[in-house]
């Protein structure tokens, strides 16, 4: 059940309450990340950078093609039979601009394919800091977008999606495209987007003790400056919150109510809406950062993916 609430004078959609399974998973995450043995490495992103994963086994129903670009690689996921060629999805992964692509995003690609009724997904393994600080990630996102155009897709055929840093990068990409006279994609899906690298929102304080992933410390991934370097963190290509959203395509923004990054979503939604952009902001009560990774294990993540599917369906029929 969805109810309305007022938050910063904006009427948003919020789930009524967290499920039992959601509460259990949130508490488990908090327990693990507060464990001194590994918690600091999880919060700082150190563990993510050093993580070694088994090779990805692509499900039989898909073909996955690796595309070598000049500075990075991309992966094209497509149904073997009857792919939906109405539109294409460009996925920008999260990881605080310091973590490379993981198997979780290959799973995301499959979920995007499922909820979009068979659309192909291009996921880019863009360059990350500290070896490749700003503007490397943005340059690679622009290159991937231009690659799709070169393959015969029109801008109105492209849906850009991203989580956390990838959600912010999706908006930064659109700021760049607009500033350089290029046509924007037809829509944006952003999960808990990191839009304010100044960390200026009120939720950085109000959710400080509630956020199970980043809370109770100022020495965490969301305060890492490796990507920003000596650049202005208020640059719209770094923190899209500070940009001009006029002319942006419709956006679906999903975020958990327990996140320190909650304000990043609320503030962007408010600003973009007041600049004439169609925005749906869905706040999932009791949820944590990128709870959508639970896929079908939690009622909230199932609902979130269903909502993404409905949003893509609306974009496809406009």
pLDDT single digits (tens) 207-253: 999 999 898 888 888 998 999 999 999 999 999 999 999 999 999 99
Residue 286 predicted with pLDDT over 70: yes
Range with the poorest average pLDDT among 34-38, 49-53, 202-206: 34-38
The average pLDDT across 4-11 equals 36
Q: Is the model's pLDDT at 16 over the cut of 80?
A: no
pLDDT band at 10 (very low <50, low <70, confident <90, very high): very low
**H/E run at residue 2:** strand 2-7
- Residue with the bigger pLDDT between 242 and 35: it is 242
Residue 75: active-site member: no
Tokens of 123: 């996921």
pLDDT at position 34, please?
72
Active-site option among 164, 263, 267, 282: 164
CA–CA distance, 58 with 184 (Å, rounded to integer): 31
Read off the pLDDT band of 23 (50, 70, 90). Answer: confident
Note if the bond before 264 is cis, omega within 30 degrees. Answer: no
Cis before 286? omega within 30: no
What gap in Å lies between CA 249 and CA 80, rounded to an integer? 30
Where does the pLDDT of residue 27 fall: very low under 50, low under 70, confident under 90, or very high at 90 and above? Answer: confident
127-131, 221-225, 309-313: least confident range: 221-225
- In this predicted structure, the answer to whether residue 54 has a pLDDT above a threshold of 80 is yes
Q: Check residue 30 and give its pLDDT.
A: 75
Residue of 285, 307, 295, 223 whose CA lies nearest to 26: 285
Residue written as tokens 């995003």? Answer: 105
What the block records as the tokens of 124 is 């880019």
| Structure tokens that stand for 253 in this block | 């923004």
Distance CA 119, CA 317 (A): 14
Confidence of residue 6 (pLDDT cuts 50, 70, 90): very low
Verify whether residue 289 is a known catalytic residue: yes
- pLDDT at residue 254 in the model: 98
Active site residue 164: yes
Calculate ∠ Cα 14-17-20, nearest 5°: 140
Helix (H), strand (E) at residue 260: none
β-pairing verdict for 84-92 and 119-125: parallel
pLDDT for position 5: 31
User: How confident is the model at residue 139, as a pLDDT?
Assistant: 98
Identify the band that residue 4 occupies on the pLDDT scale cut at 50, 70 and 90: very low
Residue 213: helix, strand or coil by DSSP? Answer: coil
Q: What's the whole-model pTM score? A: 0.91
Q: Which residue has the higher pLDDT, 305 or 53?
A: 305
Higher pLDDT, 312 or 40: 312
Summarised one tens digit per residue, pLDDT across range 150-206 is: 999 999 999 999 999 999 999 999 999 999 999 999 999 999 999 999 999 999 999
Catalytic residue chosen out of the listed positions 289, 300, 301, 307: 289
**Residue 47: pLDDT band with limits 50, 70, 90:** low
- In sequence order, the 6+-apart residues with CB closer than 8 A to the CB of 11 are 4, 5
Residues above pLDDT 90, as percent of the chain: 77
Domain boundaries, the chain: 19-317
CA torsion, ordered 27, 309, 74, 128, to nearest 10 deg: -40
Per residue in 78-121, pLDDT (tens digit) is 999 999 999 999 999 999 999 999 999 999 999 999 999 999 99
Q: Write out the CATH class of domain 19-317.
A: alpha beta
Q: Which residue has the higher pLDDT, 69 or 47?
A: 69
Instruction: List pLDDT tens digits, range 253-267.
Output: 999 999 999 999 999
Q: Is the predicted pLDDT of residue 22 greater than 60, yes or no? A: yes
């Amino acid at each position: 059940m969805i109810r309305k609430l007022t938050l910063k004078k904006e009427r948003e959609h919020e789930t009524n309450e967290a499920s039992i399974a959601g509460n259990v998973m949130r508490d488990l995450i908090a327990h693990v990340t507060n464990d001194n043995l590994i918690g600091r490495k999880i919060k700082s992103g150190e563990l993510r950078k050093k993580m070694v994963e088994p090779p990805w086994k692509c499900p039989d129903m898909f073909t996955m093609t690796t595309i070598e670009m000049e500075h990075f690689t991309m992966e094209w996921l497509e149904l073997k039979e009857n792919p939906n060629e109405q539109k294409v999805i460009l996925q920008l992964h999260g990881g605080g601009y310091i973590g490379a692509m993981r198997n979780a995003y290959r799973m995301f690609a499959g979920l995007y394919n499922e909820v979009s009724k068979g659309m192909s997904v291009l996921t880019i393994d863009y360059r990350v800091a500290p070896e490749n600080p700003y503007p490397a990630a943005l340059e690679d996102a622009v290159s991937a977008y231009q690659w799709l155009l070169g393959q015969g897709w029109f801008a109105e055929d492209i849906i850009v999606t991203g989580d956390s840093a990838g959600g912010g990068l999706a908006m930064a990409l659109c700021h760049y495209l607009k500033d350089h006279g290029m046509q924007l994609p037809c829509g944006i899906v952003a999960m808990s987007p990191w839009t304010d690298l100044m960390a200026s929102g009120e939720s950085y304080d109000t959710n400080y003790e509630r956020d199970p992933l980043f809370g109770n410390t100022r020495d965490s991934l969301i305060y890492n400056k490796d990507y920003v370097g000596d650049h202005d963190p208020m640059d719209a290509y770094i923190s899209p919150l500070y940009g001009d959203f006029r002319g942006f395509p419709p956006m679906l923004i999903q975020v958990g109510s327990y996140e320190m990054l909650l304000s990043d979503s609320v503030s962007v939604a408010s600003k973009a809406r007041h600049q004439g952009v169609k925005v749906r902001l869905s706040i999932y009560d009791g949820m944590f950062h990128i709870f959508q990774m639970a896929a079908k294990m939690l009622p909230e993540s199932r609902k979130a993916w269903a909502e993404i599917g409905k949003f893509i369906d609306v974009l496809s029929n406009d």
